[in-house]
Amino acid sequence: MKEFFRLLKREFRLFTGNSTLRTVFFLAPVFYATLLGFVYKSGKVENTPVLVIDRDNTPLSNQLTEMLEDNKSIKVIPYLQEPFSIKDEVIKHEAAAVVIIPSKFEAAVLQKKYPELNVYVNTGNVLTANFASKALQLTIGTFSAGVSIKALQKAGMPATRAATQYEPFKANYITLFNTTGNYLIFMWPAMLAVVLQQVILLAMAVSFAAEFQGGTFIREYFRMKRSAFFTMLIKVIPVWVFSVLIVGFYYFMHMIFKVPMPEGILNFILLTAVFVGSVSFLGVLISILIPDALKATQILMVIASPAFIISGFTWPLNAMPAFVQWIANIIPLTPFLQAFKILLIQKGSVELTFPYLKHLTVLLIVYAILGWIALKIKMGLLFRYVKPETETVPDLSE
């Protein structure tokens, strides 16, 4: 055990003494948590530019334009004359939509000819398009209902009856989970999990590979040659300890940006611990198999880069091809984010996260066993012809 603690102390020294690791592991989470927090701070997209082309220019069309201007989600850019190129104007103003009020709009409404209002939605950016479309539907729908009810009232129908004639039945739309549609709550915590996985993989990429490449592994770990598992622990324990600091900082940032904490905090801590363990053992496995630090880093970044996209957090897994689902399911981020969504956004029961916790646990065990086997073979090959220069002490058996 004395040798174990000597090497563990050495590993902490190597970790903190490496300027690249210090920058990546400590500064990157702080930088990204702060930067992304301010990016999504508003939670909602407001004052989205919308072009309103009024070909009628009558009191009724002006009233519709004024109602659109009162909606805080959009910023109306009015046109009394149609521009030469509507598409160019959309690009110029980065508009999310164009509302075209046809000529003779008021006259057609008064004569009950049901004129058509054309709304062109710019889906070049799906997010802003959805926000603008929702705002326009609400305002235009309210305006349309008001005009219809007023017309019925002018015909002598009481207001209460006019409302029922316009709306023969009522549909109540009740939102569940993140009812305000706050994008900060939806995206920011998930991106922090992505950053955590990235920095752990980057740190683990050089853990064994750098030792093999530099020739220090044989000299330092000779007395641990029969202790592959404990050798793995020496490499991952510093990452686990420093990950606690990162997660603690994330909780602090939750308070700064006023983002709700996940339900079942103890279960979430367990989930995070298993996530960190599975990611670190995945990094260990790759670092052992690829004895070149640069190549190991490149391979782990190839694995980590698309992890969020294929995790099923923003696009459902069942809509992806089977082989993509298989790749997603062997990356620890996928089950972690699924459970994370239940605890943070959907505020579901802790029991609903158990399948994902089981999934993460399986990944942790599999990667730990594969890493142990790979290291056992590697150590056997490295120490096969190495003779001790001094009297050896008893090996730490597994």
Q: To which residue do tokens 């000529």 refer?
A: 103
> Tokens standing for 295?
């190549």
Better-scored residue on pLDDT, 102 or 220: 102
pLDDT of 151 above 70: no
| Alpha carbon 257 to its chain's center | 16
Poorest-pLDDT segment among 107-111, 177-181, 340-344: 177-181
Which of 382, 6, 397 lies closest to 218 in space, CA to CA? Answer: 382
Long-range contacts of 246-251 (CB under 8 A, 24+ apart): 246/25, 246/26, 246/29, 246/196, 246/199, 247/196, 247/272, 249/29, 249/30, 249/33, 250/29, 250/33, 250/189, 250/192, 250/196
Region 249-265: mean pLDDT is 83
Q: Is residue 343 within 8 Å of 262, Cβ to Cβ?
A: yes
Region 154-178: mean pLDDT is 58
Q: What pLDDT, on the 0 to 100 scale, is given for residue 386?
A: 64
Q: How far apart are CA 106 and CA 88, in angstroms?
A: 28
Q: How far apart are CA 109 and CA 2, in angstroms?
A: 89
Q: How far apart are CA 341 and CA 260, in angstroms?
A: 12
Q: Is 94 helix (H, G, I), strand (E, B) or coil?
A: coil
Mean pLDDT of the chain: 80
Beta bridge partners of 51: 77, 98
* pLDDT tens-digit map of 82-93: 888 888 888 888
* pLDDT tens-digit map of 276-291: 999 999 988 988 888 7
Give backbone dihedrals phi and psi of 18, rounded to 5 degrees, phi first.
-90, 110
Q: What pLDDT, on the 0 to 100 scale, is given for residue 26?
A: 77
Poorest-pLDDT segment among 103-112, 210-219, 314-323, 380-389: 380-389
Instruction: Show the beta-strand stretches assigned E in the chain.
Output: 48-54, 74-79, 97-101, 118-121
Q: How many CA atoms lie within 13 A of 392 on its CB side?
A: 14
